[in-house]
Structure 1
Amino acid sequence: MTDLVNAASLPAPEPRFLFLRRLLKRKTVAFGVIVLVVFVLLALLAPWIAPYSPSKLSIVNRLKPPSELFWFGTDEFGRDVFSRTIYAGRLSLLVGAAVVALSAVIGVTLGLLAGFFRSLDTPIARLIDAMMAFPDILLAIALVAALGPSLVTVIVALSIVYAPRLARIVRASTLVIRELPYVEAAKSMGISTFHIMTRHVLRNLVSPILVQGTFLFASAMLAEAGLSFLGLGVSPEIPTWGTMIAAGRQYIGQADWMTYFPGFAIILSVLSLQLVGDGLRDMLDPRLRKDM
């Protein structure tokens, strides 16, 4: 009897920890979270973890295979591939986070305006459809070529490319939410439109925005690598996974490690984000939560 009383007096687990525990029960999601955390820690601690400077040249050590001295080998200029892979991850994560943040601002704003105001729905919806008619990578290449290759240009271009995805989701959800009784009640009480859009509509869109944000993060990292591979990314002096793979093309069969390790880094980082996004979608969607 005493044990039952003590168990009943224990505080219930907080909802956020319960949600996290249920999310990590899936092995695939737990794997994605672990890999993502490792990449983030490597990026943050790169100056202390990397054994060499990513730009240090050593012609004597040119094209050395992986060894105890050079874990991932060296490239055509004798630079340590392991150090360059870690530092390249910092830029990829930075681009992904910046693109998600900027595209969320653009996409959520356009989606809210199109879904809440009937007069703006048609022109904004047509703009979204027109932008989504172009393949993502081709539109990004065109924007970067027009604005000039740089880190800021890549972030802006990819944000413009991926913002319509968020805008479309937010618009569709807003069209439904604006007709709900509590929104009509808020309007009849004289509550300002801005307050209704931010407190009553936007609050109910956090889940789809969060899920879509993880997918956009992965897409942005992959697109940045593609642009760098084509020579349209950041300056060649800055290590990126795309430029490392592009440089290693000339030495396939002779120094395969130059392309293998940055390629594996791209695969693991994008895969981890996709797994986490799938888990969040299944947890936050009531229709899919029943099957978990």
Structure 2
Amino acid sequence: MTTMASVSMPLVSGLRRLFGNRAVLLGTVILVVVILAALLAPWVAPYAPNKLSIVNKLKPPSMTNLFGTDEFGRDIFSRAIFAGRVSLLVSLGVVAISTVLGVILGVAAGFFRSLDAPISRLLDAMMSFPDILLAIALVAALGPSLSTVIIALGITYAPRLARIVRGSTLVLRELPYIEAAVAMGLPTWQILARHVLLNLASPILVQATFVFASAMLAEASLSFLGVGVSTDMPTWGTMLASGREYMNNAPWLMIFPGLAIVFSVLSLQLLGDGLRDFVDPRLAKES
């Protein structure tokens, strides 16, 4: 009991310090609302996302349709909630792929001196292209679909994580306990698993939140440009694209999907900034 209490006290105090930041608390609340709305979409949404009602097309927001209707009479509120599912699914997939690739490339470049130069040149070459252009090129090469968007964005954002991991690994590699482990003849995989990867968890977690936000915005951009997921699937980007023609007569077609993107990305940025300051308090003091 004493051991459990001693472990839980630092955890509680750490969470209290993290969520004592109002910006972090606000971002977390918004993100939880978005996630819950997406998970409970079939029960929260009053209508099916693709239910047509031509007689009710372009209706302004009302008690019947909270966010109004689009050019086909579909309920904007319902479509925005279901679109959140797609955005979260894509972002989670992108974070998973970019984290795996970034950790492998970053650790290999930072720990093995012979691999540093070629991997660093590869990362520099990938980061020399704007993210959205590289994503469009990959989607065009693989073919537009939900899975290819996830793969393309995962590859696009992997260099961001790889550079962070590489820099941290270069520092860790020179620490005395790492050198001692190498001198003792411990297997390389054991050194990487026990001493390197565990110490990389914090910077990876912080960077993953920023990648999550960037992936969400990139998915909306690809869908807006018509090179993202299938148009049969509601996304915030496709909703914005279809609402352009009616921007003057029915501005709600673009306002509400746009606000969904803004608040979702903002919540992740606030959470990421808070985690960064929590992991390294020196950054908070400098800012």
TM range (shorter): over 0.9
1:113 aligns with 2:108: yes
Shift of 1:220: 0.1
Letter in 2 for 1:114: A
Distance 2:275 2:83 in 1: 27
The equivalent position to 1:136 in structure 2, one of 131, 134, 146, is: 131
Alignment correspondent of 1:177 = 172
Distance 2:237 2:173 in 1: 44
Aligned residues, how many? Answer: 283
Shift of 1:253: 1.2
Alignment correspondent of 1:6 = none
Deviations 1:177-204 (A, max 9, x none): 1111100111122211001011101111
- Residue correspondence of structure 1 range 84-123 to structure 2 within 5 A: 84-123=79-118
The equivalent position to 2:189 in structure 1, one of 179, 188, 194, is: 194
Letter in 1 for 2:260: A
Alignment correspondent of 2:149 = 154
The equivalent position to 2:205 in structure 1, one of 171, 194, 210, is: 210
Alignment correspondent of 1:64 = 59
Shift of 1:11: 6.7
Letter in 1 for 2:147: V
Letter in 2 for 1:107: G
TM-score by length of 1: 0.94
Shift of 1:223: 0.1
Letter in 2 for 1:34: V
Alignment correspondent of 2:255 = 260
Alignment correspondent of 1:49 = 44
Distance 2:285 2:130 in 1: 35
TM-score by length of 2: 0.96
Alignment correspondent of 2:214 = 219
Shift of 1:291: 6.9
Gap regions ≥5 residues in structure 1: 1-9
Letter in 1 for 2:208: G
Distance 2:135 2:285 in 1: 39
Gap regions ≥5 residues in structure 2: none
Distance 1:12 1:185, change over 3 A: closer
Shift of 1:125: 0.5
Alignment correspondent of 1:18 = 13
Distance 2:49 2:284 in 1: 45
Letter in 1 for 2:272: G
**Which has the higher Rg, Structure 1 or Structure 2?**
1
1:238 aligns with 2:228: no
